[in-house]
Every structure is written in structure tokens, then in C-alpha cells.
Amino acid sequence: MLGEELPLERLQFGSRELGLAMSHVLAGRLVYVSGGRGKTPLLRALSLSLYKAGFSPLYVKLEWVRYGWGASEYIEGYYEHHLKLTGFPAFRDYDVVLMDDGELLAYYPNIYANLLRDVGGKVRAVAARADSLDALERTLGSGVVISLGEGSGERLKLPLGLTSIGRKVEIEII
């Protein structure tokens, strides 16, 4: 089961890693969650915990961001998905940003230039594969790494739109 498919009630709210991430984010530090399985559920639990603590977090799943989109286009395009993933609405006046699929930012930084411009210094947590952390630190700055073990995600991730390159599609014109 993918991390975004896990029901909110099954997220690990009492985990040591969540407590560690929460303490660093509350102190204003950037946190990188890396390693094997469990990055997305941890980031989702962190976003809900921040919301319950009085913050207005924005959970950004980079795999869904289209080329050239800024934060407002993402919020508008994925408002319902944000609500389903986190249990709260996407705020236009967000004060904390959590990024999932951070390796995409490392591999394709130009695609996310407008989004990065919009979220500025508000990024406090990034879930990414371990091999992308050096590139992410060059882009977002240094941070505390919370490792969830060895390995990486099983599926190849591409930004929205690039997944269709080289494939045949059938278009029906009405």
C-alpha cells in the first residue's frame, strides 16, 4: 500500500521519528526524512500534528505539481487531494510547507522554480530518497536528516506530465 493510500487513523502518531521531526520543525529547523518505506506516512502525520498544534501547514506532493505551477495553482488544483491526505484543507496563508517526493526537486529543479519562489523559507520538512539529499541541501539548505532505514521507494517517480512522454495516447474529439 502506498503511503498516500494509508487511512489517516492508521498513521503512526506516537512514533519516535515523528516526535523528533516535530521538535525540529517547532524549533524552526529544516527536516529531511529519508530512507526506505514510511516517508509519506510520517510526513502526513507531521502535517496533521502541526495543524493540531495551531499551524497552517501546506502539504505539497511534488509528483502532482505541473510544470510552472506556483503554490496557488497547486492549492487550487489539489484542494480535495490535500484534504484527503492530511485531514484538513489547504490554506492559502500557509506558514509551514512540507514537501513529499523531494527527490523530484533534486532531479528536476527547473520544473519547480515557481513553487520554490512562492514557498520561500517556509519549507520545514521534506521526504525524499537518500540519494537526493545532497542536491536538496544545495537547493533548500542544510537540515536534520531523519533516516527510516535502508532502501528506497520501489516505483519510479516523474513530475506530472513527464510520465506520458514516449507513450501513445488515444484522444477522442467530441
Per-residue pLDDT in tens (0 to 9) along the chain, 174 residues: 576 666 667 677 878 888 999 999 999 999 999 987 888 889 999 999 999 999 999 999 998 898 889 999 999 998 888 888 888 889 899 999 999 999 999 998 999 999 999 998 999 999 999 999 999 999 999 999 999 876 555 555 556 555 555 555 556 666
How many domains would you assign to the chain?
Answer: 1
Q: Is residue 142 part of a domain?
A: yes
Domain region containing 77: 8-159
Edge-to-edge order in the sheet of strand 31-34: 57-61, 96-100, 123-127, 31-34, 144-147
Cell 487550487, residue located:
76
- E-state strands within the chain: 31-34, 57-61, 96-100, 123-127, 144-147
pTM of the complete model = 0.82
- The CATH code of the domain that includes 120 is 3.40.50.300
